[in-house]
Every structure is written in structure tokens, then in C-alpha cells.
Amino acid sequence: MKFGVVVFPGSNCDHDAYHVLKHILGRDTEFVWHGRTDLKGFDCVVLPGGFSYGDYLRPGAIARFSPVMEMVVDFARKGGFVVGICNGFQILTEAGLLPGVLMRNRTLKFICDYVHVRVETTSTPFTSRYRDGEVLRLPIAHADGNYFADEDTLKILEDEDRIVFRYSTPDGRIEDSSNPNGALRNIAGILNRERNVLGMMPHPERACEGILGSRDGLRFFESIIDAIEGRPFL
């Protein structure tokens, strides 16, 4: 089993993801430079958080044309697991692997804080170790996390059970007051139709050790390991 963590110029959560996969979970993990043009041998690829290409033009707009992204699209089409966290989520939407767009936070401010998210579905390779409706405490750190998609797309996401996380109160209520950035329907994370590509704004890789304030992210990565090992998640 092998994980890849893509490194774009400006990625800054690549080492966090690598640390969790390699040192906490003890899995074979490799950094993948953005200029690389093959992903042979990988089971899961993580697009980490950061500010690829300085967020110039739009977050993710330039990174999506990195040579490695063509490989990531191909890898996803063949069923490989792809996770985009924060800037990684923005890149996945720009690349067309996930619908919608992450717009500027409604407050116009960069937010670095803990938030609560409710697990909306456990029928995914990324959340099978959680309970339906479970509330997680995860950090966010972004200026552009305000999820937007047209009404038709939102309906499809809901009908196909593709909304994975929503910003919630600590007791799991979905309210505007629990929405840090203005994301439509409090959306914090979504899946593609085939359920092998996930994008999310919160950072599970920064919530895997007690000393960092939360371990709620660990089961996210453990779920992926289960899926790679062939345990069913649907």
C-alpha cells in the first residue's frame, strides 16, 4: 500500500499529511513533486493544503495545470483514491474533478480556528470509521472556503449522498451560526459521483494527535487504509 502527497510550489500542509501517514499510521508514503508525470504504484494521492502558486488568479487555478494534475485526473478516473484538503479541494474543483467552487469567505477574513463538522455519510472510503451524524472537531485555515455551486448541482450532491461534512454546532445542528465562511448548505466536504475523490476545507491531518488538540482526523485516514485493503464501505 502506498500513499502519495503531492507537493506544489506553495504547498504548506504536505509535511503534516506525510507525518500522519508515514509516522503515525506507519504506511509507505512518498512526496510527489508537481512536475512528476506518473503515479504508478500509488493507492491514494493527497493534494495538501497551502497556497499553490501563491493563489494567483484564483486558488488552485494555476496548480491544476501542473503536469502531475493530468496524472491525478487519470488516476482518479481509474478508481484511485484522491483526497484534496483545503487548497487541495480548491485545486480539485478547478480541475473539474469535483463540482462547484470555493469562493472568498463571506467575512473576507482568513480564518484559523477549530470548527465542528457533522459526518453526513459514512458510505465513503474516507469516513467508514465514523458514525453517521458524528460531530468532529477539526481545524480550518483558509480565506477561500465559501463553497458555491448552482441549485441543480447542490440538489445532485444531496440526492446522491455526496455531501460528506457540514459545519455544525458542537451538538450537531446545522445552523448559519455554525457556518464559518458562508458555504452554501454549510458544506465542508464533498465527493465525486464515483465516491473515490473527496475534497474538504477542514484539516484532518492536523487533528491526529492529542497534543495538537484533537484526534478526530485519525479515523479519516484509517478509513482510507481500510478501503485500500478492500474492506467494503458502501
Partner 1 sequence: MKARVFITLKKGVLDPQGKAILGALRSLGFDEVRDVRTGKLIELELEGSSRDEAEKRIEGMCERLLSNPVVEDYRIEVD
Annotated catalytic residues are: 86, 203, 205
**Shortest spacing between CB 148 and partner 1, in angstroms:** 6
Q: How far is the CB of 57 from partner 1 (least distance, A)?
A: 7
Using CA atoms, how far apart are residues 126 and 133, in angstroms rounded to an integer? 15
Closer to partner 1 by CB, 25 or 156: give it: 156
Q: Considering CB under 8 A, how many residues would be counted as binding partner 1? A: 20
Cβ 226 to partner 1, closest distance in Å?
Answer: 33
Q: Do 119 and 134 contact (CB within 8 A), yes or no?
A: yes
Q: Which set of grid coordinates corresponds to residue 198?
A: 473527496
Site for partner 1 in 173-212 (CB under 8 A): 182
Binding letters toward partner 1, positions 85-114, x by CB under 8 A:
--------xx----xxx-xxxxxx------
Residue 111 has what DSSP assignment?
A: E
The half-sphere exposure of 10 on its side-chain side, counting CA atoms within 13 A, is 16
Q: Among residues 61, 73, 135, 228, which is the contact residue for partner 1, using CB under 8 A?
A: 61
Question: Nearer to partner 1 by C-beta: 33 or 56?
Answer: 56
Binding of partner 1 at residue 149 (CB under 8 A)?
yes
The pairing of strands 146-148 and 101-103 is: antiparallel
43 vs 144, which CB is nearer to partner 1? 144
Listed in sequence order, the residues at least 6 apart from 218 whose beta carbon sits closer than 8 Å to its beta carbon are 20, 24, 25, 204, 207, 208
Q: Which of 212, 13, 221, 35 is nearest to 5 (CA)?
A: 13
Please list, in sequence order, all residues whose beta carbon lies within 8 angstroms of the beta carbon of residue 189, skipping any fewer than 6 positions away.
89, 117, 163, 164, 165, 198, 199, 200, 201, 202
Confirm or reject binding of residue 169 to partner 1 (CB under 8 A).
Answer: no
Q: Considering the complex, what minimum distance in angstroms separates the CB of residue 60 from partner 1? A: 9
| List 38, 65, 67, 70, residue binding partner 1 (CB under 8 A) | 65
Give me the residues that bind partner 1 (CB under 8 A), please: 57-58, 61-62, 65, 93-94, 99-101, 103-108, 148-150, 182
